[in-house]
Each structure stands twice: as structure tokens, then as C-alpha cells.
């Protein structure tokens, strides 16, 4: 049975939710599911913007059939060739042999890589940055968004209704619950953290490319943003665009501290918890402590983009960094984290080496300051080392105020 919603009088949301998938991209936990959004424009010509993931194909095709109501499908615009959006392209083109594929050269190449469609050239309408397509009442302008977060990504700006189809940008983890508009939920308190986790983990590496797209978007009069995951934005666009401006500039949102510790038998955890208490005693609010073996790195990466100061505490393991901390730090390197203050604590029963190696990894991050002194435990925190934790807490407080 169809489950469509009108976005405007002639634009239909054909998306579908997956609440069964455990890991998005087989990496990121999605305890609240995920939505795959597809949109159908019903103008003199009909235009489908993207398809969906294979997991929700049945809902998608029922929605499409209902929304078309017997009309033919003139165009499919492909913004992004990742299979969570293009998986149903081959099936769609088998059902709708009348449809022309609107895409750029790179997308066409990827279509040929993913599928054996052998479409004749005339089935493609090649587009590039600055090209337009008139569909009757609407004029669609195409905007290149390379590396947000794949090279072929395009966005479409509907100049008639001032709608930006933004591909993955402005997406959010989490299924939609009937309400497809961000203004229909208390977004900041209930969904912002999942928008941040989505952005930072999926797109976070490509800050400069996102900034380029934001610059282009700044020149457009945008009344609505329709992303491929999560909510449609029709109010408070400055709020989410402002968040993207910060995240893509690697600018912290909050002058706060996140402590991410790894601990094998609880001794490093003990030092991390004591540091959290020392910070609280000094008036630092909203300190967050994470055990890297308990909390999935995607949550800590998201938090690392949010706050200005990070503490990593880790045992030495195989003469290196405790494995889950090592993984987290490498992930943060891969995601290009910048502009942070960092404090380090390590532990080692016979040769504490982790702090030096953590500092070496963090040295790859732009504009990050590693506070001195680093605290180094020998097996367990001793009374006489409390003073070192106090010094580290003072240095963090100073950094927060600076
Ligand atoms: Fe939602 Fe990059 O795919």
C-alpha cells in the first residue's frame, strides 16, 4: 500500500524507512533506523529525483505507481550513485522504458559500473553545472557538489519553487515517523545529534568541498531543502545551514570537554573519571565521558566535532595504543578533525608508550594543541599523581576560557 506525502502541491515524497538495518554502510549503528528519500515532481513532465535502497524497494515502487497515477515517467535525475539511492535504478528503467536518465558524465560511468544496462546514448540527458531543464512550470538548475561525499554528486535547484534537492547533504540518521518536515519535531533536542553524527561520519572528511557548496547555496534563494535522508527543511533553514557551516569549517559548536578512555581492567577508566570530577569541581559543565570499547566510534567522532577540548586516555597495548583508542584516533585523522585542544593520559605496567604514539597520530591533525604535561600511569593511579590530574584539569579549564 502506498505511503506518500505531498511536499508541495506538485512535489511528492516517495521515501521509505528501514528500521531493521543494524549498520548503515555496514559501519554505523542506526538504532532509530534510516529513511531513504525519493521525490517525484508532477509538472507537464514528470521527474523522479533518485531511487532508494534495495531494502525498501517494494514501498518505493508502490509509492511511485500511486503518485504517477497512470502517467509516464519522463525523467529520472540521479544526484548520487551510492547504492542506498541508486539500487533500484535498473528495476525502475525496466518498468519505465520511456524514462530518460538525467545525469552527469561521472554518474553515467558509475551507472555502467554498477549495472549492465547498456542504455543507448539517447536514453541519457547529459547535464553539468549550470545546465537547466524546463519541465513546464518548473525550471531545474543543476549544481555540482563534487566530493559531498562522492565525486559525481549533483544537486538540483528548482528555481520555480526555490527548492534545493541536496543529495546526502542535510541528511539525518533515523527513520521518519510520519512527520517528514523538520519543523514538525523538536529537531534540536531530538534529532540534531543524529544529523551531526550523519554529517561528521559520512561527509566530515570533505569540509572544504562542503564549504564550496555552501557558497553556491548562499547565492540561491532557498525556501526548502529536500535531502536524501531524514527531514525536509522548510523553516529555520539558517539553523541547519549554520550547523553545516561550523561542521565543515571544523569549528567546535560548544566550549566543552569530551573524555574518551580505553581501559582494560579499569585503572585508566578510574583516572579518566577522576579528571571528569576535577573538571566539574572547576565549574566545567556538560563534561562527557565515553568508554571507547562501549560507545561506537561514530558517536565519539560526532562529539569530537561538537566540542572544543578532547581528552584521550589509553593503556599501552602491544607496545602501541589500546586497540579501540587507536582505531578512534585513526578515524578522527581520516575525518580531518582540526582546531581542537587535546589532553592525553596513558598507562603501562612496564612501558607506557601510548601517550607518545597518540601525540604522533594527533600531530597529523591541523591546528590542534596537545596540552602538557601528559599524565602517565604505571598500572594504576597513585595518590601522588592526583596533583598531575589537577594540573591537567587546570590546563583544560584555561583552554576552554581562552
Ligand atoms: Fe546516502 Fe552517500 O549515500
Contact 234, 8 (CB under 8 A): no
CA distances from 183 to 131, 171, 202, 232 (A): 32, 15, 24, 9
Could you tell me the distance, in angstroms and rounded to a whole number, from the CA of residue 228 to the centre of ligand 1? Answer: 7
Contact indicator for 308, 254 with CB cutoff of 8 Å: yes
Q: How big is the chain, counted in residues?
A: 402
Give per-residue pLDDT as tens, 138-155: 999 999 999 999 999 999
Q: CB under 8 Å to 182, separation ≥6 — which residues?
A: 191, 230, 231, 232, 233, 234, 235, 236, 240
The pLDDT value recorded for residue 402 is 84
Q: 225 C-alpha vs ligand 1 centroid, how far in Å? A: 16
265 lies in a domain?
yes
Query: What CATH number should be reported for the domain holding residue 137?
Result: 3.60.15.10
Residues 6+ apart with CB under 8 A from 201: 27, 28, 298, 301, 302, 335
3-class DSSP state of 135: coil
Three-class DSSP category at 129: coil
Looking at the structure, do residues 264 and 129 belong to the same domain, yes or no? no
Same domain, 242 and 315: no
CB-count burial class (<10 Å; 0-12, 13-18, 19+) for 341: buried
CA-based R_g, the chain, Å = 24
94 and 158 inside one domain: yes
Same-domain check for residues 85 and 189: yes
Q: Look at ligand 1, atom 3, and give the residue with the nearest C-alpha.
A: 82
Whether 234 is covered by a domain: the verdict is yes
In a domain, 254, yes or no: no
Distance CA 312, CA 60 (A): 44
Asked, for residue 402, whether it belongs to a domain, the answer is no
Pocket of ligand 1 (CB under 6 A): 80, 82, 84-85, 149, 168, 228-229
Domain of 176?
5-248
Measured in angstroms, how far is the CA atom of residue 98 from the centroid of ligand 1? 27
What is the reported pLDDT for 270? 98
Measured in Å, residue 204 CA sits from the centre of ligand 1 at 13
Q: What pLDDT, in 10s, does the model give residues 366-390?
A: 999 999 989 999 999 999 999 999 9
Q: Are residue 78 and residue 195 in the same domain, yes or no?
A: yes
d(CA 165, CA 158): 8
- Domain co-membership, 231 together with 98: yes
Which protein residue has the closest C-alpha to ligand 1 atom 2? 82
CA distances from 125 to 74, 77, 152, 386 (A): 11, 9, 15, 68
CATH code for the domain of 347: 3.40.50.360
> Which atom belonging to ligand 1 lies closest to the Cα atom of 168?
1
pTM: 0.97
* Residue 228 shares a structural domain with residue 272: no
Local mean pLDDT, 10-residue blocks, the chain (402 residues)? 97 96 98 98 98 98 98 98 97 98 98 95 97 98 97 98 98 98 98 98 97 96 98 98 98 98 98 98 98 98 98 97 98 98 98 96 98 95 96 98 89
Same domain, 230 and 267: no
Nearest atom (ligand 1) to Cα of 153: 2
Amino acid at each position: 500500500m502506498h505511503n506518500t506525502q505531498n511536499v508541495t502541491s506538485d512535489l511528492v515524497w516517495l521515501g521509505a524507512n528501514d528500521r531493521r538495518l543494524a549498520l548503515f554502510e555496514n559501519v554505523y549503528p542506526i538504532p532509530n533506523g534510516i529513511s531513504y528519500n525519493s521525490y517525484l515532481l508532477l509538472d507537464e513532465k514528470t521527474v523522479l529525483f533518485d531511487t532508494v535502497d534495495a531494502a525498501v524497494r517494494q514501498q518505493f515502487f508502490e509509492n511511485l505507481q500511486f503518485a504517477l497515477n497512470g502517467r509516464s515517467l519522463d525523467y529520472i535525475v540521479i544526484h548520487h550513485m551510492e547504492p542506498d539511492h541508486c539500487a533500484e535504478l535498473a528495476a525502475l528503467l525496466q518498468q519505465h522504458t520511456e524514462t530518460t536518465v538525467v545525469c552527469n558524465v561521472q554518474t553515467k560511468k558509475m551507472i555502467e559500473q554498477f549495472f549492465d544496462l547498456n542504455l543507448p546514448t539517447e536514453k541519457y540527458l547529459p547535464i553539468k553545472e549550470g545546465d537547466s531543464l524546463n519541465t513546464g512550470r518548473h525550471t531545474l538548475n543543476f549544481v555540482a557538489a563534487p566530493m559531498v561525499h562522492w565525486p559525481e554528486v549533483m544537486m538540483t535547484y528548482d528555481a520555480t519553487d526555490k527548492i534545493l534537492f541536496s543529495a546526502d547533504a542535510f541528511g539525518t540518521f533515523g527513520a521518519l515517523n510520519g512527520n517528514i518536515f523538520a519543523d514538525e519535531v523538536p529537531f534540536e533536542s531530538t534529532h540534531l545529534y543524529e544529523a551531526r553524527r550523519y554529517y561528521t561520519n559520512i561527509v566530515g572528511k570533505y569540509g572544504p568541498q562542503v564549504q564550496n557548496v555552501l557558497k553556491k547555496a548562499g547565492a540561491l534563494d532557498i525556501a526548502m531543502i529536500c535531502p536524501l535522508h531524514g527531514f525536509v527543511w522548510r523553516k529555520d533553514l539558517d539553523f541547519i545551514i549554520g550547523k553545516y557551516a561550523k561542521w565543515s569549517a571544523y569549528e567546535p559548536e560548544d566550549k566543552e570537554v569530551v573524555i574518551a578512555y580505553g581501559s582494560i581492567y579499569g585503572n585508566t577508566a578510574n583516572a579518566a573519571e577522576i579528571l571528569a570530577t576535577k573538571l566539574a569541581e572547576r565549574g566545567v559543565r556538560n563534561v562527557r565521558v565515553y568508554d571507547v570499547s562501549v560507545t561506537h566510534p561514530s558517536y565519539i567522532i560526532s562529539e569530537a566535532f561538537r566540542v572544543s577540548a578532547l581528552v584521550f586516555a589509553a593503556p599501552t597495548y602491544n607496545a602501541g595504543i589500546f586497540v579501540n583508542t587507536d582505531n578512534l584516533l585513526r578515524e578522527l585523522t581520516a575525518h580531518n578533525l582540526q582546531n581542537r585542544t587535546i589532553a592525553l593520559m596513558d598507562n603501562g605496567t612496564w612501558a607506557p608508550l601510548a601517550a607518545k604514539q597518540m601525540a604522533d597520530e594527533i600531530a597529523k591533525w591541523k591546528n590542534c594543541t596537545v596540552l602538557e604535561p601528559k599524565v602517565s600511569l604505571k598500572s594504576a593511579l597513585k595518590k601522588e599523581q592526583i596533583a598531575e590530574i589537577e594540573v591537567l584539569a587546570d590546563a583544560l579549564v584555561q583552554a576552554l576560557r581562552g
